[in-house]
Copies of this chain bind each other. A is one copy, B any other.
């Protein structure tokens, strides 16, 4: 298992869904936007699952017995609200027996226009000895992801953590890869974009994933 996996580097349907979530023209249909994030989440789940632990088990069919390698663990699917919900739904579509964690981070703005990320909501099971999959559609500065990871670690010591993001800025990806323990974390990214604006928007990116999925918030 490589430490960093860029799914969009391989030609596949995955890039069709990436194209559609990026496209300003396609984004006007918020149901399709959410559905594309779900499909992206399903494919991430499937590719990550290739790196998990399996053991052969007997399955009783109506006509006999089949020996099939079964998943030996039930991962915890964690996501950052609210933008992460459709991506999380996609993961849950495939890991349908998983436990789940939800985190909310917000940008606390100061008068000078700078901001700090703070966590205001966390719901999580015990993470000890678990495989944790933490997803956030956009990895801009990487600060909210790093903070969410840190907060989750208060809930236990996972065996391994998979970090999932649809679009990452180069700078944000570098940041989280330097902050998180690379021996126990694997990074799964859809596409890496080169530019991050002064207001922390990824360029070309896709805009604000939360607004596109759920509407503008006040």
A interface list, Cβ under 8 A from B:
8, 10-16, 18-19, 22-25, 27, 29-32, 34-35, 39, 42-43, 45-46, 49-50, 52, 54, 57, 59-66, 68-71, 76, 81-82, 85, 89, 92-102, 104, 120-121, 123-126, 155, 191, 193, 195, 197, 201-207, 210, 214-218
Contact = CB atoms under 8 A, between A and B. Distances in A.
Given A66-B191, A81-B102, 7 more contacts: A12-B50, A43-B46, A62-B207, A63-B202, A82-B100, A82-B123, A102-B214
B201 A16 contact: no
B49 A8 contact: no
A13 B93 CA distance: 11
Contacts of A23: 59-61
A63 B204 contact: yes
Contacts of A30: 96-97
Contacts of A215: 76, 98-100, 125
Contact of A206 (B46, B62, B92): B62
A11 B61 contact: no
B27 A62 contact: yes
Nearest to A167: B66
B218 A99 contact: no
B29 A81 contact: no
A69 B102 contact: no
Contacts of A22: 59, 61, 66, 68
Contacts of A206: 61-63
Contacts of A34: 92
B193 A66 contact: yes
Q: Which of A10, A57, A95, A123 has the most CB of B within 10 A?
A: A123
